[in-house]
Amino acid sequence: MTFKAAAIQMCSGVDPVKNAADMARLVREAAAQGAVYVQTPEMTGAVQKDRPGLRAILRDEANDIIVKTASDLAKELGIHVHVGSTAIPLDDGKIANRGFLFGPDGKLISRYDKIHMFDVDLDNGESWRESAVYRPGSEARIVSLPFAELGFSICYDVRFPQLFRAQAVAGAEVMTVPAAFTRQTGEAHWEILLRARAIENGMFVIAAAQAGVHEDGRETFGHSMIIDPWGKVLASAGGTGEAVLVAEIDVAAVKSAHDKIPNLKNAREFSLEKIATPAAGGVAA
């Protein structure tokens, strides 16, 4: 089974209405190139670091313009549209960093809430505390599409290989990594992390990214990519501005990679022992 997949690179601003219009234009462009699965970046609806400003534009799922636009596009174009994520308010006052996958009939197939929160302090002075605003998800998920077994992650999740391994063992053939990587961490780790996840699990990785300097002053790394199970980059974008990446996905390559390097099958359980060395002048037990 082969199919065309697309990764949409965006530079979302603070206005969800404009971002929805930009998304629609780019998704239509991808569909015109033959893509039957189209992925948008993390925080497609708005990149807004001002928390009161973000909360002011939030809408529940039933009234969210990104969700509605994606559903309408999927039905109009007869394709699968995957909103990498957008911010959705929750009843407890927190926000979900939530992805949505719509089928060709426009109906919702699956949601995915980002599991790992980006709580870090970077060398350039940037400080991030996603957990102060967002409620982490707790469920990994695989969806059986007509053309592939699709697994989910969002951005910072890529640094947790156990999430990818669990989905690979469960049969995922394509992993999705929509993201809004910072420029500093992206320059250091983005490509190598994506290729490592593809290689170590023998799966395709599709990563649609935010790119460039946003209205709120944030800068994201871009370089959206589609990678095959052998770690080969099939398509990539630059570090700024919009892009539509389309690549042919041959799902048979997943089995081929597993046959060549059967590390999933060869994995073994093991125990771990930590040995304490004696203090100076002491005697080891």
Identify each DSSP E strand in the chain by its residue range.
Answer: 2-9, 37-39, 80-89, 95-102, 108-113, 119-121, 127-129, 142-144, 149-152, 174-176, 204-207, 211-213, 219-221, 225-227, 233-236, 243-250
Q: What is the pLDDT of residues 74-105, one digit of tens each?
A: 999 999 999 999 999 999 999 999 999 999 99
Task: Tell me the C-alpha distance between 85 and 42, whole Å.
Answer: 5
Task: Tell me the C-alpha distance between 21 and 91, whole Å.
Answer: 28
Assess whether pLDDT exceeds 70 at residue 127.
no
Choosing from 114, 130, 149, 173, which is the catalytic residue? Answer: 114
| Tally of helices (H runs) and strands (E runs) in the chain | 7, 16
Token pair belonging to 244: 């539509």
Q: What is the mean predicted confidence (pLDDT) over 36-52?
A: 95
Give 285: exposed, middle or buried? Use CB within 10 Å, 0-12, 13-18, 19+.
Answer: exposed
Q: What is the pLDDT of residues 217-233, one digit of tens each?
A: 999 999 999 999 999 99
Residues with Cβ within 8 Å of residue 169, at least 6 apart in sequence: 264
Assess whether pLDDT exceeds 60 at residue 284.
no
Assess whether pLDDT exceeds 70 at residue 128.
no
The answer to whether 11 is a known catalytic residue is no
Residue 238: CB atoms within 10 A of its CB come to: 12
Choosing from 4, 11, 130, 155, which is the catalytic residue? Answer: 155
Asked which of 118-132, 198-212, 229-243, 254-268 is least confident by mean pLDDT, the reply is 118-132
The whole-number pLDDT of residue 285 equals 53
The answer to whether 114 is a known catalytic residue is yes
List b or e across 80-90, with b for residues whose CB sees 16 or more CB atoms inside 10 angstroms: bbbbbbbbbbe
Choosing from 42, 149, 173, 219, which is the catalytic residue? Answer: 42
Give 205: exposed, middle or buried? Use CB within 10 Å, 0-12, 13-18, 19+.
Answer: buried
The answer to whether 155 is a known catalytic residue is yes
